Structure 1
Amino acid sequence: MLDTTLDKVPLVSLKQAETDAQGFAEAFGGSFQRFGFAMVADHGIDAALIDRAWQMTRAFFDLPEAEKRGYFVEGGGGARGYTPYKTEIAKGAEHVDLKEFWHVGRELARGHRFAADMPDNIWPDRPAGFRDTFLELFAAFDAAGDRLLSAIARYLKLEPNWFDPAVKDGNSVLRLLHYPPIAEDAPNVRAGAHEDINLITLLLGAEEAGLELLDKDGRWLPVKPPEGAMVVNVGDMLQRLTNHVLPSTTHRVVNPPAARRGHSRYSMPFFLHPAPDFLIKSLPSCVSAENPDRYPEPITAHDYLHQRLVEIGLIKA
């Protein structure tokens, strides 16, 4: 059974954080604690930059298949460059996802201490301007993510800058996603039910119907923000850090109605990760007699990411 998410998940404005930081933190964090999701207006990413990024995304995925596959790194776990159609699979799913994607990561200085864990970016020869556009968009997502993490810190009664050292030089990834047109008898999801791996995900492109979250009562709720707003959700690393106070909610992308199956779907999620050496350890404030520590053994972000990439088929065990 489906319901309308806007009737339940509040639409919050990041502009509020400029004049009422705690009020925004309570609204944003409250939505996270209830749904694991929030919808954020006035996120500060320039609309002209977003429009240019959509044009580049469509132009790249329109390239010949052989040309795109030239940017696929065998054994690279999809960390950078191109990942072909029907490669990724949700944990425990029967069908591979009906998507292809491109990954842009953080640009590191030569000799950086994380260079072994965060490979260099790969850039296509065309469309022209691709590299500059997506480095600019990566930086804009990074800045918006920092502001949202500050609100989460306030909500958890931490210092507003608590996450700053955790995400400095973090292993974040900007994914350009293309769900090609599908046949009428295709499996019933473009992306199987899953949870994200990272701290938080910032998503542009959810205006096109298909994204659904699994509510606590077992209903699938469609997530369709107003034009220009961003969908933000909790990832498993933040769920683990907060000992499930903030839940990483299962979500999926279902196939459209028959009339829309001949159309592509595009989206741009930014998976905000901590630095590889960040130790994911339950926050003391999130552990109590009523909520005992589920994760007594801490784990680094790098080791956790590797475990999960094996589970979804991007790295072979």
Structure 2
Amino acid sequence: MNTIPSVNLTDFLSNDPIKKQKFIDEIGHAYENIGFVALKGHFLDTELVDSLYSEIKNFFDLPTEIKEKYEIPGIGGQRGYVSFGKESAKGKKEGDLKEFWHFGQYVDRNSKYAEEYPANVSVKELPKFDEVGKETYKMLEKTAKYVLRSLALHLGLEETYFDNYIKNGNSILRPIHYPPIKTEPKGAERAAAHGDINLITLLMGAQGKGLQVQNHKGEWIDAIAEPDELMINVGDMLSRHSNNKLKSTIHRVTNPPKEMWGTSRYSIPFFMHPISDMKLDVLENCIDENNPKQFDDITSGAFLDERLRELGLKK
């Protein structure tokens, strides 16, 4: 594949079994071959998207000393602010040229996950920031639920197989700011080549050049979404669980050409994670003579912990 396929979630949500099956076949084929799709028909409306971009630009425009008040030690960057250059791709010593914020799961106080997850961080300077972030989180989580339902059917599982694993899951909404580049980056990129940790990632802000995906031949291809599309890719957890039937594809955000160094880039991925006690053991129906079991048994919580250490976010 040399282009990212486009699919429309309204086909899956329709009462037409032919349209629904067409969506399942198209997204299944894309994830087996390139690991990415562009998705129309999601639950984000234009007004919410505009509000979110406005709020995150306001946040990243705050003075550094104010932003750093929201950097919480000891939680591996799982909530609040993570300052410029702190995160690096697995195997890279150079930090990525970005700063970002984390909104996390909103759990009931009586949930057993309330103690496991750090609390969300409130930004006092921006009264609408938290509310807009929470609403976006909920709409992306809802979109992700139906994408995973289609993938469950593609994998020969019951349609709602993932529902209980993602309810109260450790998902993260990450508004990212790639600031203007002021000096020649020495080996650093806006986001170095990496695979995602989670089940699936839903990305807002892939409308301009920069995001690139590596296909099976090792070629880098541009992944550019239409204004009404989210870019959605498979993460390592889902790849493990499906015995690499669904591909977690290496991707990166390249530095712009020199004449564009003075511009910022914003992107907003939603990393769909399950609850920490979900077993990522390879599904039996993804193992056969030609595809022996490729991965050891592990829980999603243990896998996440391992990867956060590799990224330098956890000591």
The runs of at least 4 consecutive aligned structure 1 residues that moved more than 2 Å come to none
Task: Give the match for residue 141 of structure 2.
Answer: 142
Task: Give the match for residue 228 of structure 1.
Answer: 228
Task: Give the match for residue 63 of structure 2.
Answer: 64
**Which deviates more, 42-51 or 241-250?**
42-51
SS in 2 for 1:69: helix
2:79 and 2:73 map into 1 onto residues whose CA distance is 11
Matches within 5 A, 1:159-170: 159-170=158-169
Matches within 5 A, 1:184-199: 185-186=184-185, 187=187, 189-199=189-199
Task: Give the match for residue 52 of structure 2.
Answer: 53
Q: Which amino acid aligns with 2:300?
A: A
Q: Unaligned 5+ residue runs, structure 2?
A: none
Q: Given the alignment of the two structures, is residue 151 of structure 1 paired with residue 150 of structure 2, yes or no?
A: yes
Task: Give the match for residue 23 of structure 2.
Answer: 24
SS in 1 for 2:115: coil
2:83 and 2:181 map into 1 onto residues whose CA distance is 15
1:305 and 1:106 map into 2 onto residues whose CA distance is 15
Matches within 5 A, 1:209-248: 209-248=209-248
Matches within 5 A, 1:1-317: 8-17=3-12, 18=14, 19=16, 20-183=19-182, 185-186=184-185, 187=187, 189-295=189-295, 297-316=296-315
What's the CA shift for 1:112? 2.1
Change (3 A) 1:188 1:96: closer
What's the CA shift for 1:188? 5.3
User: TM-score, normalised on structure 2?
Assistant: 0.96
1:264 and 1:96 map into 2 onto residues whose CA distance is 17
Q: Which amino acid aligns with 1:112?
A: S
Residue by residue, what CA displacement relative to the aligned partner does 1:245-287 show, whole Å, maximum 9, x if unpaired? 0111111100011121100000110000001111111111111
SS in 1 for 2:275: coil
Does structure 1 retain, via aligned residues, the 8 Å contact 2:174–2:269? yes
1:110 and 1:285 map into 2 onto residues whose CA distance is 37
SS in 2 for 1:198: coil
What's the CA shift for 1:195? 0.5
How many residues end up aligned between the 2 structures?
Answer: 310
1:9 and 1:253 map into 2 onto residues whose CA distance is 16
SS in 1 for 2:190: strand
**Which deviates more, 91-100 or 262-271?**
91-100
Does structure 1 retain, via aligned residues, the 8 Å contact 2:95–2:188? no
Q: Which amino acid aligns with 2:206?
A: A
Residue by residue, what CA displacement relative to the aligned partner does 1:24-69 show, whole Å, maximum 9, x if unpaired? 0111111111101111112121111011000001000000000000
2:5 and 2:108 map into 1 onto residues whose CA distance is 40
1:37 and 1:93 map into 2 onto residues whose CA distance is 24
Q: Unaligned 5+ residue runs, structure 1?
A: none
1:200 and 1:273 map into 2 onto residues whose CA distance is 8
Q: Which amino acid aligns with 2:166?
A: V
Does structure 1 retain, via aligned residues, the 8 Å contact 2:43–2:140? no
User: What is the percent sequence identity of the aligned residues?
Assistant: 39
2:93 and 2:314 map into 1 onto residues whose CA distance is 18
1:308 and 1:40 map into 2 onto residues whose CA distance is 27
1:144 and 1:155 map into 2 onto residues whose CA distance is 17
2:188 and 2:199 map into 1 onto residues whose CA distance is 28
2:164 and 2:138 map into 1 onto residues whose CA distance is 17
User: TM-score, normalised on structure 1?
Assistant: 0.95
Change (3 A) 1:142 1:133: same
Does structure 2 retain, via aligned residues, the 8 Å contact 1:208–1:265? no
Does structure 1 retain, via aligned residues, the 8 Å contact 2:3–2:223? no
What's the CA shift for 1:22? 1.5
Q: CA RMSD in A?
A: 1.2
Does structure 2 retain, via aligned residues, the 8 Å contact 1:97–1:189? yes
SS in 2 for 1:189: coil
Q: Which amino acid aligns with 1:282?
A: V
What's the CA shift for 1:218? 1.0
Residue by residue, what CA displacement relative to the aligned partner does 1:58-89 show, whole Å, maximum 9, x if unpaired? 00000000000000011210100000000000
Residue by residue, what CA displacement relative to the aligned partner does 1:188-245 show, whole Å, maximum 9, x if unpaired? 5211110000000000001121111111101111111111211000000000000000
SS in 1 for 2:145: helix
1:109 and 1:280 map into 2 onto residues whose CA distance is 25
